[in-house]
A and B are shown apart, each in its own frame.
Chain A
Amino acid sequence: MSAHAAAVHEASHGGSNHLFLSVWVGLVAITMGEVYIAYLEFPAVTMLLMLIGLSILKAGLIMAYFMHLRFEKLGLFLTLIPATIFCVGMMTVIFPDSLRLLQIRLMP
């Protein structure tokens, strides 16, 4: 490893095995919670919001701890995450059209 690579590798590490094990237990617990929620027969929108909310929480834990994003410089987070959230959000503009299509198909 070059001196530069060694220096940045050293600087970017953090967390202990105990911390990572705790995060893993948390992720498994949230997964079991999701399976339980799936059988509660909530309306579809409520169910979707709850499951996606928990999935975002799990994704956050994985990125923050397993992918070490929490231990990197804030600039990396600010470069990657807000732009991704914006792009994902922009994709939701298609949904009003899916509802329009549903109404057309339900017409007698």
Chain B
Amino acid sequence: MTETHSEVAAGAWSGGGSPYAIGHKKLGMWLFIMSDVMTFTALLMAYSYSRLANPDWPRHVFPIWPAIAFSTTMTVVLLASSLTMVMAVAAAHRGARETAVKWLLATMAGGLIFCGLHITEWLHLIDENLRLFSNDWGSPLFGATFFGITGLHMTHVLCGVIYLGVIAYGYGTSRFDGEDVEVSGLYWHFVDLVWMFVFPMIYLMSVKYK
């Protein structure tokens, strides 16, 4: 395509328009994100429904150590990885390939630290007999919804780490351009955004008071 954006926009009726003034990859990622919002919303609604409908739902089960300390640290790590992703996108926008790749690698490291902390946190809970279909605290649905939601989120983080690895390699070898880095950034920030709802609804609503 050789036309500039304004030329394409002027010919919108001929089918070449870009009404949102963004590339098709970015629009595609936005639409994917909105569909994934529905997935996580449905899961969190199912969690809330089960919590409300079951009188024996475990309501105050997460002590400050290790559950809340770990999940708060995970939140800060994920937020920090979002900041490094912003830096990667800014570097890619300037055309600084080496710097952008370094920030992408830092973002991937943040994702891996998040997963490491999360698996450690899971092991603490498994030690306390929390299982997918049973637990010592009450309704067995608690384990199913807890592991279902946090597990799906961790899968998204792991997929994001792999995605960023592919983008870092491709951008470093000039196979991909700045728009690809920006689109991968949208995905990464979405993963961060989802955790901003999972953390309070799953962990903070179930803190164990002294």
Footprint of B on A, CB under 8 Å? 1-5, 7-9, 11-13, 17, 20-21, 24, 27-28, 31-32, 34-35, 37-39, 41, 44, 47-48, 51-52, 54-55, 58-59, 62-63, 66-68, 72-73, 75-76, 79-80, 83-84, 87-88, 91-92, 94-95, 97-99, 101-102, 105-106
Q: A4, B207: Cβ atoms under 8 Å? A: no
Determine if A80 and B34 form an interchain contact, defined as CB atoms under 8 angstroms apart.
yes
With contact pairs A12-B22, A72-B20, A106-B55 given, residues A4 and B82 touching in the complex (Cβ less than 8 Å): no
Bound form: Cα–Cα A98–B55 in Å: 11
Contact A63 B23 (CB under 8 A): no
| B83: A residues at CB distance < 8 A | 20-21, 24
Task: Find out whether the CB atom of B68 lies under 8 angstroms from the CB atom of A35.
Answer: yes
Contact B179 A9 (CB under 8 A): yes
Q: By DSSP majority rule, is chain B's interface helix, strand, loop, or mixed?
A: helix
What is B's interface to A at a CB cutoff of 8 Å? 1-6, 8, 18-23, 26-27, 30, 34, 37-38, 41-42, 45, 48-50, 52-55, 59, 68, 72, 75-76, 79-80, 82-83, 85-87, 90, 93, 177-179, 182, 185-186, 189-190, 192-193, 196-197, 199-201, 204-205, 207, 209
B-side contacts of A105, CB under 8 Å:
53-55
Closest residue of chain A to B64, judged by CB? A39
